[in-house]
Structure 1
Amino acid sequence: MAPPSRREDLVEAALRLFLRDGFHATGIAAILDEAGLTKMTLYHHFKSKEELIVAALELRDRRFRDWLFGRVQAMGGTPRAQVLNIFEALGEWFRGEAQIGNDGPEAFCGCPFVKASAEYADQADPIHRVASDHKRRIVETLGEMCHKAELPEPERLARRLVLLKEGAIADATIAGDSLAAAEAKLMAVRML
């Protein structure tokens, strides 16, 4: 396996800091220090901090979806059970048991896509669009799972289940309730 490139080191470092500290609050100097790189290297790969944020969110999107839907499948069960496994996986994330990146289990600190869309609220902003695309992909994949499970109105059901998922994430973030996923799952069972 080839060693990571400087660009990858930069994106990895930025993602770690963005997840922990937020987007506007994380300065370029902190990212460069975390990555052990120079400003010249940053601007060789990215024209702006915003381009780096987009790259970090795209990495997070791939990793999160791979982790989430990988866990759902690994938990097994019928297609219907796998739809509900979403909430079991969320519970792992809330408890700090999810290994989404390369650094082992990560502490839960909320949804970076919600945070990014709040910090970059203009819907035309590339950062906001990456966040929106992530949420759309979750709905689409869950819709495919609902279809496979032969559940009625799979696309509409997927949207409703994602609303439960998002509510659980918000509750876990704001109230620190690691049981929010279990409560959301109880509601999802009633919907199915």
Structure 2
Amino acid sequence: MPPFDTEAARTRLLDAAEELFYARGIRSVGMDDIRTGAGLPLKRVYALYPAKENLVEAYLERRDVRWRARLAAAVDAVDEPRERILAVFDWLGAWFREPGFRGCAWINGFGELGSVSPAMARLARAHKQAFADYLDGLVAAAGLRADVGPQLLLLAEGAMVTAGIFGTDAPAVQARAAAAALLRPA
């Protein structure tokens, strides 16, 4: 096997971890599974991430950046402020239709480890708070009451959980319709 520079090895390792953790769950995947998936020696894996929890943190942090960037790109393609809010639900529907969709990685991880891993709980809360803040920003830009943001968050989060369980994009359509009703002038 050819040697890898540190950044290439880290990328391969995170790619393998993301694929395996997201598909099978964090607890069911061992470091040897990830090593095999990345094609790296176990010694190299532990040199980069001395403990599985370090690798889980890195995986979720990288996924957070990518997830939020993809969402923002979809929303930024829309001009009208209220339509930008609805674009969140359109994007969720597209995400739910992606091959291998298994729900929200942070909800899944929190369900698995949130009660025993302070790091997992911290990462899940940080991701969800960033999403809540993003929605609040969209609500403010649309000139809506501040209490609409938390309501939209519940619709989006409920859609994520429901889509992950039932394996359909229908929850995004339903949540979008509920959001549209929230956005209608009284």
**TM-score, scaled to structure 2:** 0.91
Q: Give the share of equivalent positions with the same residue, in percent.
A: 33
Which of 84, 87, 99 matches 1:85? 87
Highest Rg: 1 or 2? 2
The answer for unaligned runs of 5 or more in structure 2 is: none
Determine the structure 1 residue equivalent to 2:23: 20
Q: Distance in 1 between matches of 2:12 and 2:82?
A: 39
The offset of 1:123, in angstroms, is 7.6
Aligned length: 179
The offset of 1:94, in angstroms, is 1.1
Which of 63, 67, 70 matches 2:70? 67
Q: In the alignment, is the contact (CA less than 8 A) between 1:95 and 1:178 conserved in 2?
A: yes
Q: Distance in 2 between matches of 1:170 and 1:127?
A: 18
Q: In the alignment, is the contact (CA less than 8 A) between 2:97 and 2:168 conserved in 1?
A: no
Q: Distance in 2 between matches of 1:124 and 1:28?
A: 17
Q: In the alignment, is the contact (CA less than 8 A) between 2:115 and 2:121 conserved in 1?
A: yes
Indicate the SS of the match to 2:36.
Answer: helix
- Asked whether 1:150 is paired with 2:143, we answer yes
Counterpart residue type for residue 31 of structure 1: I
The offset of 1:38, in angstroms, is 1.1
**TM-score, scaled to structure 1:** 0.88
Q: Distance in 2 between matches of 1:170 and 1:160?
A: 16
Q: In the alignment, is the contact (CA less than 8 A) between 2:102 and 2:167 conserved in 1?
A: no
The answer for unaligned runs of 5 or more in structure 1 is: 97-105
- Asked whether 1:34 is paired with 2:37, we answer yes
The RMSD of aligned alpha carbons is 1.7
Q: In the alignment, is the contact (CA less than 8 A) between 1:123 and 1:129 conserved in 2?
A: no
- Aligned pairs for 1:1-192 (under 5 A) are 4-74=7-77, 76-96=78-98, 106-122=99-115, 125-153=118-146, 156-192=147-183
Residue deviations 1:16-37, cap 9 Å, x none? 1111111001111110011000
